[in-house]
């Protein structure tokens, strides 16, 4: 098992201390700092099929591997958005399904693949719930959660309704379905959109309080984009009143 510590509060970073020969995998650009004895190697993380699967899900098509050489190493992975970093121990038959930007880093030996919401027609309209990532095998994975993370442990047959985008991760033993909001008045006047996501146990569900897409949409009315007067032809972005 990889030794690690998570620091930073709402601006978290996970600092890992792999022993000689231990390897951590992450998407390109996720490493924040490391000791000189960490050796990097870039690959497709499982062949052409998985490479294009990650491309389809909007993730980097390559994975970087960092291996400690000659002794204990140190490597840090910081969250890209204010929130939480959650460690999850994956075992055979106890994998996890993660939002498409929720994977931060994992031990080598775990398998990262694309997970599709079963009802494809509704999945297209369900937004974040359509394309996710499945992590399986045996080892530790670190997940990036937007905002505060609330964990629920669902019993068999127990369900929870989640607004689109708030589902961060769930055990692979859970099932997910995108449901239409009932009632025309609820749809047009309720402000909650057309679809909700139902998660049914058994298993763990991780819900995030501040999805990055919601934050971006909330800030949009206050941002003004202007043409720059400089010779570079760039743009200026300023906050509105």
SS3 188: helix
Q: How many CA atoms lie within 13 A of 64 on its CB side?
A: 16
pLDDT-derived band at 232 (thresholds 50, 70, 90) equals low
Task: Please enumerate in sequence order all residues whose Cβ is within 8 A of that of 149, keeping only pairs 6 or more positions apart, or say none.
Answer: 83, 84, 86, 168, 206, 207, 208, 209
Confidence band of 116 (pLDDT split at 50, 70, 90): confident
Residue-wise pLDDT for 7-61, tens only, equals 999 999 999 999 999 999 998 788 999 999 999 998 865 554 555 555 555 555 6
CA–CA gap between residue 100 and residue 191 (Å, rounded): 25
Condensed to tens digits (0 to 9), the pLDDT of residues 170-190 reads 999 999 887 776 654 444 444
CA distance 224 to 33: 34
Please report the pLDDT score of residue 222 as a whole number: 72
Q: Which fold has domain 3-220?
A: Double-stranded beta-helix (3.60.160)
User: How far is Cα 208 from Cα 210, in angstroms, rounded to an integer?
Assistant: 6
Q: Which tokens in the block code for residue 100?
A: 């498409």
Residue 147 burial (C-beta neighbours within 10 Å; 0-12, 13-18, 19+): buried
pTM flag (> 0.95): no
Task: Report the C-alpha gap between 187 and 21 in whole angstroms.
Answer: 55
Task: Report phi then psi at 122, rounded to 5.
Answer: -75, -30
* Nearest partner of 161 among 93, 207, 221, 211, judged by Cα: 207
Can you tell me the distance from the alpha carbon of 157 to that of 174, in angstroms, rounded to the nearest whole number? 9
Residue ranges of the domains in the chain?
A: 3-220
Largest CA distance in the chain: 65
Q: Decide: 79 and 152 in contact? Cβ < 8 Å.
A: no
């Amino acid at each position: 098992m990889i030794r690690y510590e998570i620091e930073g509060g709402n601006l978290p970073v996970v600092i890992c201390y792999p022993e000689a020969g231990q390897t951590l995998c992450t998407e390109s650009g996720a490493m924040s700092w490391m000791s000189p004895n960490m050796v990097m190697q870039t690959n497709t993380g499982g062949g052409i099929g998985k490479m294009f699967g990650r491309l389809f899900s909007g993730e980097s098509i390559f994975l970087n591997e960092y291996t400690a050489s000659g002794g204990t190493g140190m490597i840090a992975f910081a969250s890209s958005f204010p929130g939480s970093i959650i460690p999850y121990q994956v075992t055979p038959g106890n994998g996890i399904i993660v939002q498409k930007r929720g994977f931060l880093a994992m031990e080598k030996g775990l398998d990262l693949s694309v997970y599709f919401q079963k009802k494809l027609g509704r999945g297209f309209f369900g937004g974040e719930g359509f394309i996710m990532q499945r992590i399986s095998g045996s080892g530790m994975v670190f997940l990036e959660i937007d905002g505060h993370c609330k964990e629920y442990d669902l019993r068999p047959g127990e369900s929870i309704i989640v607004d689109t985008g708030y589902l961060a991760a769930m055990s692979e033993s859970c099932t997910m379905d995108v449901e239409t909001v009932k009632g025309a008045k609820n749809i047009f006047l309720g402000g909650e959109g057309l679809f909700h996501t139902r998660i049914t146990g058994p298993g763990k569900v991780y819900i995030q309080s501040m999805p990055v897409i919601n934050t971006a949409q909330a800030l949009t009315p206050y941002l003004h984009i202007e043409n720059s007067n400089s010779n570079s032809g760039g743009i200026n972005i300023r906050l509105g009143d």
